[in-house]
Structure 1
Amino acid sequence: MSLVCVTCLTGFPVPTGGSGRGLVQAQEVEFGLGPEPGDVWKGKDVTTAYVEALTLAEEHYAGPIDHERLCDAAATGMLRTLDPHSNFFTREEFNEFRSQQQANYSGIGSLITQHGNKVYIWSPIADTPAYRAGLRYGDEIIAVDGESTEGWDVSKVRSRLRGLRSTAVTVTVNRPGEPSPITVRIVRDSVGQPSVSNVFMLTPEVGYLAFRRGFAQASGEEVAAAVRQLKARGAKAIVFDQRDNPGGLVDAARAIAELFLARGQKIVSIRGRTPRGLTYENALTSNNPTPEDIPLVVLINGGSASAAEILAGALQDHDRALLVGETTFGKGLVQTPYRLPDGYGLTLTSAKYYTPTGRLIQRRYDNVSLYDYQRRRSRTEVTGKDGLTKYLTDGKRTVYGGLGITPDVEVKGETYTLAQGQLTSLTFLFGRLLANGQVEGFAQYRVPRDVDYNHTLQDSDYPITDQLLAAFKAFAQPRLQEFGIAPTALVGNDAFLRQQLRREILTAAYGFDTAQEVIIREEAVVKRAIAEVPQSRSLAENARRLMPSPLRPTNSFKN
């Protein structure tokens, strides 16, 4: 029997630090050996029953038994009875989890994508082994370590490209215009995953900051640097995009909130219990005597969760930002990671968090399947704000609790038709030909081998002309059936196709993050955020007036 089977059922974790602080910080905790003498505990009885059930299965089950899968399922099922966010991790899953917390992983450093039954390089990340080895946008991955990738999906290719740092992997690709496959040997390395992916100016006075990849150890420093960069470029207000940010470290949320909240202002209250059953409450507060007072519009949606909700809730409760978008996911539970023997791990809900006004953000999860909880909201959760508990912000604005963080201005997210989703495969396949100079009559769209990751996007960069759009349609028409696309899909989608084609060629020339600017600028929620900047300016000015006099910034903005 795997050691983890026994330890999951019989062991107790021992937190680091005192008074439960390790739990609040969501630090990784070592696994202990058991309860203190005298504790009331029935682990022995549970273990005996489990071992007896496993023994019966071994002796009488009609087929072969995979002990590791049985153990994993037992631990997973046990934790899932507690809440949707307490999870068990296999060795591979726990390594991936830890990489996300540290904002890096070990691999070659490239975004990959699947279209049809083939996997391609989408965008090598700047200054990574993949980029230095010469892999580029549109390369079709046909072999890894000499083994054909035929029949592999994108997940299998990704798992084979990742590995221990300093180990080597050979990758063979087909590139349009090259007479034979290209094979490169790549030494894996640590690959950073910055929390801030896009920083640019939406208008001469409104900056944009994309913070959508999670809260990691360096997130606070990244956001602070991005704010300084935007202000240096003339920003008088910032659109802070937290859509689809899954959360992460509570300390990172605190660090970012401190950039904008004054000393003494509460960021979040965390209420839980220690391993000995004692309850506690820790209030995290800002310690910044000179916070930034630039007006903020924060974008949120149903994918904004956990630490993203802590940050959004704190800024909303203190009237420090105007929230635009859709109601957040509603995850008000704090997990502590635990290392188990043999490389396994688990996260266990150890506390609940509350916004400064006392709002519990967590949605109800009792009598709801895991699928419904993660993918769909119940009918009562989409009926609006009726029945939700009301709270008052510092400036006496009404906000709501019990569902997630509700926006001040509701704007629905972008939706795409099935046909549009299918057409993205063809825009990519056309883009890889275009970027490699393989579309007749459009040699000027061939991109240089060196990707300019620091490029400031201009309207004149790789425009999609009527002639180029016509060339794409001629390319796509005979391939519609292969990808299961209706012949009518090419009709009435010109604006969408122009946008996607430009994003593809810009990805090849300047990298994925820069190319995303084409999509971001046209989103309805971003346009609405720009329109709401005057309201955010009023909120920021009012928040400044509500500060105690010694804490007011001396460099306050002017209307």
Structure 2
Amino acid sequence: MSKILARYRATILTFTIIAVFAGGFLVAKLWAQKVTNLHQSLQRFSYILNLIMVDYVEEVDGEKLIKSAVDGMMQALDPYSEVMELERYNDLKSRLDAEFGGIGIYIGTRDNYPSVISPIEGTPAYKVGLIAGDKIVKIEDKPTENMTIQEAMKLLRGVPGTEVNITCHREGVSELLDFKIIRDTIRIKAVPYAGTVANQIGYIRLADFSKVAGTELETAIDSLFHNAGVTKLIFDLRSNPGGYLQEGYEVSDLFLAKGKEIVTARGRRADATRKFVATDNEKHGDFPLVLLVDRGSASASEIVAGALQDWERAFIIGDTTFGKGSVQNIMTIDENTAIKITNAYWYTPSGRCINRPQEIKAVLRDTTKKEKEVKYFTLGPQKREIYSGGGIVPDYHMAYRRLNELESRIVSQGLFFDFAVKYTAIHKDLAPEFVVTEQILNEFKTLVTAKKIEFTQAKFDSSQEYIKQEIEREIKAKLFGTKGDYEVRLRNDEQVQKAIEFLQKANTTADLFREIKK
């Protein structure tokens, strides 16, 4: 016992010395702010830790106590400041770097097994013949029933060039299928789809702001304007959570004239304050541009939306954005730990702070109502009134259609996907012009009933159009990939169709703003 006490006292003495020196340093640094009690607080913490380590009835782990104290400090900050295990930090970095070692599939859970949502074209999984709907029942002979997506991803990812063996159950095939797959570097597309949606009107979906976002977006714009006869564009940032600041800056730079401010970061420290301006002129001129946003558009998405709105460069349709307008600095503490801490807020060129106070609660507000915040005005010739208070308020509010109870239950159980897998296993030669018939609807209704989802015929009838479009979308996604998915999705997307309606009447972006004044 004496050895244990001696070890604890040595630990506490070391901690106390560190605390005293850290306290002395911090008190000196913060003296001008009259924070004079920090040293005493650190001494109090050390004293309490000492009492617990020596006098508590059971032996305790001092490191766990200190970790709990650190976690408590982080909880007193905003939701984006955190101490991360290095594994989580590396996962975050892999997502933002848009590449990792793996086999190249999107996976979800189906019947308690990790299942292939879709293989990424050109990847090892695609080349060996994995298809949407394949249930992964074993990874390296390890059963996967009830395995989480995170656990499955950890087993499937690895160093490029190494081998992983998986066993799958495929709808319509009686025996299990074994696949030997050689991992490769998987590059995730920031632009999953770009195409035309009407005469001279293009559409581009940007899914995130990974390190390839700016390059992929520029390539997509060039292709549409040079090869598809596009002169007007719908740019979709809905549910885009953001990513690298540099990519937000580069994306904005594609649309703004040289010298125009894009965003300013302001923090307490002088080195946290930075201004970003456009360095090149718009590559394709001042073409009519509609930007789509929603409550899931955050961070770098809001930087782009704020800059384009302030300069009257884009007409924004959708819902008020999330309001995640803060800058995080990530630093490694040791070989196992990193800290992510907010050190600045983003401000649009007109001076609006993007960050929403009390973000998580505030996002639940009814954004259909204009809020009574400080008023700002655009910096273009129209000097239009715009709104602040966190997030970017669209020029034309148009919320998503909300799913009713029946639709929500169907979606949550993945029944559209399940039906598409079963249907295409039987009907292998469906044409691109395939449509959902009354017979197909009845087959789907039988599946819904079998899954014990209660509904009346009246409720099913009221959701019939939505159900038909989702069956068609899932089947065409299964058969024709991303192109089939998006062609159905965009045809039935009310916000996209409204954007087309506006763009068909406009020759310049200014025309779009004049249209809403009518």
Fold agreement, TM-score > 0.5:
yes
Question: Counterpart of 1:94 in structure 2: which amino acid?
Answer: Y
Matches within 5 A, 1:292-307: 292=284, 293-307=286-300
Counterpart CA distance in 2 for 1:161 and 1:49 is: 48
- Structure 2 match to 1:215: 209
The offset of 1:362, in angstroms, is: 1.4
- Structure 1 match to 2:263: 268
What whole-Å deviation, never above 9, does each CA across 1:298-317 have from its counterpart, x for those lacking one? 00111111111111111111
Instruction: Report the CA distance shift for 1:101/1:44 in structure 2 as closer, same or farther (over 3 A).
Output: farther
Structure 1 contact 269–356 (Cα < 8 Å) conserved? yes
- Structure 1 match to 2:104: 109
Instruction: Report the CA distance shift for 1:44/1:172 in structure 2 as closer, same or farther (over 3 A).
Output: farther
- Give the greater-gyration-radius structure (CA): 2
The offset of 1:75, in angstroms, is: 3.3
Structure 1 contact 123–512 (Cα < 8 Å) conserved? no
The offset of 1:405, in angstroms, is: 0.9
RMSD of equivalent CA atoms: 3.4
Matches within 5 A, 1:92-491: 92-211=87-206, 213-231=207-225, 232-274=227-269, 278=270, 281-292=273-284, 293-365=286-358, 371-372=360-361, 376-377=364-365, 383-395=369-381, 396-424=383-411, 425-437=414-426, 442-445=427-430, 460-477=432-449, 479-481=450-452, 484-486=453-455, 488=457, 490-491=460-461
Counterpart CA distance in 2 for 1:68 and 1:177 is: 54
Instruction: Report the CA distance shift for 1:528/1:72 in structure 2 as closer, same or farther (over 3 A).
Output: farther
The offset of 1:404, in angstroms, is: 1.4
The DSSP-based 3-state class of the residue aligned with 1:183 is: strand
The offset of 1:443, in angstroms, is: 4.5
Structure 1 contact 106–163 (Cα < 8 Å) conserved? yes
Question: Counterpart of 1:226 in structure 2: which amino acid?
Answer: A
Instruction: Report the CA distance shift for 1:201/1:289 in structure 2 as closer, same or farther (over 3 A).
Output: closer
Structure 2 contact 83–340 (Cα < 8 Å) conserved? yes
Give TM-score, length-normalised by structure 1: 0.78
Identity score, percent: 29
Question: Counterpart of 2:223 in structure 1: which amino acid?
Answer: Q
Structure 1 contact 10–44 (Cα < 8 Å) conserved? no
Structure scoring higher RCO (CA < 8 A, sep ≥ 6) equals 1
Structure 1 contact 120–139 (Cα < 8 Å) conserved? yes
Question: Counterpart of 2:469 in structure 1: which amino acid?
Answer: Q
Counterpart CA distance in 2 for 1:44 and 1:168 is: 55
Structure 1 contact 107–189 (Cα < 8 Å) conserved? yes
Q: Which moved more, 1:77-86 or 1:35-44?
A: 35-44
The offset of 1:526, in angstroms, is: 0.9
Q: Which moved more, 1:122-131 or 1:511-520?
A: 511-520
Quick check: which one's helix share is greater?
2
Structure 2 alignment gaps of length 5 or more? 1-7, 32-36, 514-518
The offset of 1:128, in angstroms, is: 1.6
The DSSP-based 3-state class of the residue aligned with 2:242 is: coil
Counterpart CA distance in 2 for 1:38 and 1:44 is: 10
- Structure 2 match to 1:555: none
Counterpart CA distance in 1 for 2:360 and 2:18 is: 29
What whole-Å deviation, never above 9, does each CA across 1:67-115 have from its counterpart, x for those lacking one? 7766654434322322222222222211111112212233221111223
Question: Counterpart of 2:123 in structure 1: which amino acid?
Answer: T
Structure 1 contact 271–279 (Cα < 8 Å) conserved? no
Instruction: Report the CA distance shift for 1:516/1:130 in structure 2 as closer, same or farther (over 3 A).
Output: same
The offset of 1:221, in angstroms, is: 1.0
Counterpart CA distance in 2 for 1:256 and 1:291 is: 12
Structure 2 contact 272–344 (Cα < 8 Å) conserved? no
Q: Which moved more, 1:465-474 or 1:338-347?
A: 465-474
The offset of 1:189, in angstroms, is: 2.9
What whole-Å deviation, never above 9, does each CA across 1:519-550 have from its counterpart, x for those lacking one? 2321111111111215764335899xxxxxxx
Counterpart CA distance in 2 for 1:66 and 1:480 is: 49
The DSSP-based 3-state class of the residue aligned with 2:276 is: strand
Counterpart CA distance in 2 for 1:178 and 1:49 is: 68
Q: Which moved more, 1:131-140 or 1:114-123?
A: 114-123
Structure 1 contact 10–47 (Cα < 8 Å) conserved? no
What whole-Å deviation, never above 9, does each CA across 1:220-242 have from its counterpart, x for those lacking one? 11111111111120112100001
Match of 1:509 among 475, 479, 483: 479
The offset of 1:157, in angstroms, is: 2.6
- Structure 2 match to 1:551: none
Match of 2:503 among 530, 533, 536: 533
Report the count of equivalent residues. 486
The DSSP-based 3-state class of the residue aligned with 1:196 is: coil
Structure 1 contact 246–306 (Cα < 8 Å) conserved? yes
- Structure 1 match to 2:491: 521
Question: Counterpart of 1:139 in structure 2: which amino acid?
Answer: D
The offset of 1:52, in angstroms, is: 5.7
Question: Counterpart of 1:480 in structure 2: which amino acid?
Answer: K
Instruction: Report the CA distance shift for 1:142/1:280 in structure 2 as closer, same or farther (over 3 A).
Output: closer
The DSSP-based 3-state class of the residue aligned with 1:532 is: helix
- Structure 2 match to 1:452: none
Counterpart CA distance in 2 for 1:398 and 1:195 is: 32
The DSSP-based 3-state class of the residue aligned with 2:496 is: helix
Question: Counterpart of 2:147 in structure 1: which amino acid?
Answer: W
Structure 1 contact 124–511 (Cα < 8 Å) conserved? no
Counterpart CA distance in 2 for 1:339 and 1:513 is: 41
- Structure 1 match to 2:3: none
The offset of 1:512, in angstroms, is: 4.2
Q: Which moved more, 1:57-66 or 1:331-340?
A: 57-66
Structure 1 alignment gaps of length 5 or more? 12-33, 446-458, 544-559
Structure 2 contact 116–135 (Cα < 8 Å) conserved? yes
